[in-house]
Structure 1
Amino acid sequence: MEGEKKAMRKIIHIDMDAFFASVEQRDNPELRGKPVAVGGNKQRGVVAAASYEARAFGVFSAMPSVTAARKCPDLIFVRPRFEVYKEVSRQIHQIFEEYTDLIEPLSLDEAYLDVTENKKGMPYAKDIALEIKEKIFQKTRLTASAGISYNKFLAKTASDVKKPNGLYIIYPHKAEAFLEQLPVKKFYGIGKVTAEKLNGMGIFTGKDLKSYSREHLHRWFGKSGEFYYRIVRGEDERQVHAHRTRKSIGAERTYAENIETKEAVYEALVPLAQEVSRRTQKSRLKGKTLTLKIKFHDFEIASRSKTFVQAFDDEAGILLGAKELAQQIPRQPFSIRLLGLSLHNLSDEAQEGQLRLELT
């Protein structure tokens, strides 16, 4: 960080702008300048990403597509192309690696970079961030926003200040004033429900939040109270972890027509098992616990899990286990709109060797 002593950390948070939607607009000129939603359709499903033109109408990710279509009648729905997004993400991470090995990806489109000691010996994080943004654009024709500060929380918060295609720095000597004026709903880690609860208590800004003691916040919010107490004071000692432990690998599908029979469930499980197997093998991981997720027509969600003796990644084993779990589907008769399969208790393939599936 400019003007700060050498020991001060320099953290950059890079966040691609409307990533999925921007890739679609890049690859299809007819979509440029138009409101685009990736995922779902006008009848059902959920929006995975929305272009900035769609966001102007109040359309955002995780919104039911029916709601999105109501908010923006001219919304264009596009099927997601995750393999394309993964390839673009790989290109972006290659750029990160030119500057540091301390890269912590949060998703395909965002990551933390610790550039305190960087490969190019550049003294200013701002110059690194500007170079990365320019290289991303030259390589992918996509824009990214960057946030810079002395810890992860502030860097993540900063990256959202001047979106899209922005860069913002929260310097140590300005962090306190910045956080005091920031609405609590914009604090990373404070969700909509908690923000509404805080507003109901008369807490609207960081300054309001800061006026309460650690004991008060702990009493009201439990362990999260300690988190709120620290972040409003700009305290975050978390390191940038280059290797994050993956907890699960899965796939799910929302269906245009509800599934009404066990036979149809079995048929639907086949491509899910294929996808989970493909993703697991690509990651060189195996899992011991298989989980089947079911969302019914009224949006009630149920799940069934089973842990096996040995870890596995093969399509046949996953499908066999999934069909066994499907026998336990509650609510007979049923009407299912979504199915999901996921493997948990993951381990490295090299540790497991060539183990075969054994059902308990």
Structure 2
Amino acid sequence: MESAGTLRKIIHVDMDAFFASVEQRDNPSLRGKPVAVGGGDKRGVVAAASYEARKYGVRSAMSGALAGRSCPGLIFVKPRFERYREVSLQIREIFLEYTDLVEPLSLDEAYLDVTENKKGLPSATLIAREIRQRIFEKTGLTASAGISINKFLAKMASEIHKPNGQKTIPPEAVEPFLMSLEIRKFHGVGRVTAEKMHALGIFTGADLKRRSLEELTSHFGKVGNHYFQVVRGIHPSPVQPSRVPKSVGAERTFSENLSSEVFLLERLQAIATELEGRLKARKRSGKTVTLKIKYSDFRLQTRSKTHPYYLASADLILEAARELLYQEPLQDSVRLIGIALSNLNTEKEKTGPGEGSVSVQLSFGF
């Protein structure tokens, strides 16, 4: 685990079914009903689903047609990204009442470093509880939170009591938590990686910790070093406020490897739709489209093209990605595919105060 001198108090706040919850709040007739934000036609894709819809297996990136078949009575609502951004900014204002060290990951989640906080509250757990209450009072929406010593642990903790709950993993509980955790529940370990670990006899954090760095890097490449570190509670990445993104992207890891461009195109449609939403939320567009392909043996390939004009719509992004996909034959079956836009319509901004350095105060508990 990280040494006492580097301990921080990190909160990960994750809004519950954010897009769908905003729609249900703004339209009372949708409350308590299964709602999917996105399109329900043949080419439609689900951007978000309410918890009522999730009970039927509806999830983001699912095709609208499949979602409709999975959930009788599913109500499709057209996305309103400007509205989601407006509400997200209201939530951001609440975060900044407690700390300037806020790192937004998307419209609906962010990391907060509250090692020191503006209100002098005695614990990160109390801060998280108060923030969630303030969000509910101001927006009528619920949020879940995870609290721990680094971003990796806080992210996993926020999933434990969803929706509308929180979980604290204090320093003394980090090792027991990680040792007993099923490997498939480690953040960043997908189904395919979990199956590979199972084949190696790795089923829990305790199993993972018994493996040497050499073993893990031989089986998993560079990411093996990441697994070696996080299972020991080590994740030194600081909360970075006011980061200026050099690119905006979205990707998918498949439960089963795909070997046909036709099937990959179906996935790229969902990815392009998600990417359009992220670009609208950030008021960004880009000229350079990069297609990311990770093969079954973990080899990574990227294909890029720079256009003379800025792209932001899903249709144009998908067309550019399609061209890159068919640029050359696939080398093997594919486990992950993604699209990123760079060369963005933004000027480089100065990083916010505190980036790259963290002030440590250990006088209060979690």
Q: Which residue of 1 aligns with 2:129?
A: 130
Q: How does 1:193-208 map to 2 (within 5 A)?
A: 193-208=192-207
Deviation at 1:306, TM superposition (A): 2.2
Q: What is the distance in 2 between the residues matched to 1:329 and 1:111?
A: 32
Q: Which residue of 1 aligns with 2:334?
A: none
For residues 96 and 183 of structure 1, do their structure 2 counterparts lie closer, same or farther at Cα, with a shift above 3 Å needed?
same
Q: Which residue of 1 aligns with 2:110?
A: 111
Matched to 1:183, the amino acid is E
Deviation at 1:25, TM superposition (A): 0.9
Deviation at 1:245, TM superposition (A): 2.8
Q: Which residue of 2 aligns with 1:246?
A: 245
TM-superposition CA deviations, 1:124-182 (whole Å, max 9, x none): 11111111101100110000001000111000110000000001000111111111221
Q: What is the distance in 1 between the residues matched to 2:290 and 2:44?
A: 19
Q: Which residue of 1 aligns with 2:265?
A: none
TM-superposition CA deviations, 1:51-81 (whole Å, max 9, x none): 1111111121122222222221222111111
8 Å CA contact retained: 1:249, 1:279: no
TM-superposition CA deviations, 1:281-309 (whole Å, max 9, x none): 956xx86x44398xxxxxxxx9862266x
- Point out which structure has higher relative CO (alpha carbons under 8 A, 6+ apart): 2
2:167 aligned counterpart, secondary structure: strand
Q: What is the distance in 2 between the residues matched to 1:7 and 1:221?
A: 28
Q: What is the distance in 2 between the residues matched to 1:20 and 1:281?
A: 16
Matched to 1:201, the amino acid is L
Q: Which residue of 2 aligns with 1:211?
A: 210
TM-score of the aligned structures, taking structure 1 as reference length: 0.73
Q: What is the distance in 2 between the residues matched to 1:280 and 1:166?
A: 26
For residues 181 and 350 of structure 1, do their structure 2 counterparts lie closer, same or farther at Cα, with a shift above 3 Å needed?
closer
Is 1:189 matched up with 2:188? yes
Q: Which residue of 2 aligns with 1:291?
A: 289
Q: What is the distance in 2 between the residues matched to 1:346 and 1:204?
A: 42
Q: Which residue of 2 aligns with 1:334?
A: none
Q: Which residue of 2 aligns with 1:53?
A: 52
8 Å CA contact retained: 1:280, 1:313: no
Is 1:17 matched up with 2:19? no
Q: Which residue of 2 aligns with 1:89?
A: 88
8 Å CA contact retained: 1:203, 1:209: yes
Q: Which residue of 1 aligns with 2:305?
A: 305
Structure 1, unpaired ranges of 5+ = 252-271, 294-301, 332-340, 352-360
Deviation at 1:329, TM superposition (A): 8.7
Which one has a bigger Cα radius of gyration?
Answer: 1
Deviation at 1:21, TM superposition (A): 0.8
Q: What is the distance in 1 between the residues matched to 2:17 and 2:121?
A: 29
Q: What is the distance in 2 between the residues matched to 1:204 and 1:6?
A: 31
TM-superposition CA deviations, 1:210-263 (whole Å, max 9, x none): 221111111000001011111111111110000223123699xxxxxxxxxxxx
1:48 aligned counterpart, secondary structure: strand
TM-score of the aligned structures, taking structure 2 as reference length: 0.71
Q: Which residue of 2 aligns with 1:140?
A: 139
1:306 aligned counterpart, secondary structure: strand
Q: What is the distance in 2 between the residues matched to 1:24 and 1:90?
A: 17
Matched to 1:195, the amino acid is A
Report percent identity of matched pairs: 57
Deviation at 1:95, TM superposition (A): 0.3
Matched to 1:243, the amino acid is S
Structure 2, unpaired ranges of 5+ = 251-272, 292-301, 327-338, 350-366
Bigger shift: residues 143-152 or 69-78: 69-78
RMSD of aligned residue pairs (Cα, Å): 3.6
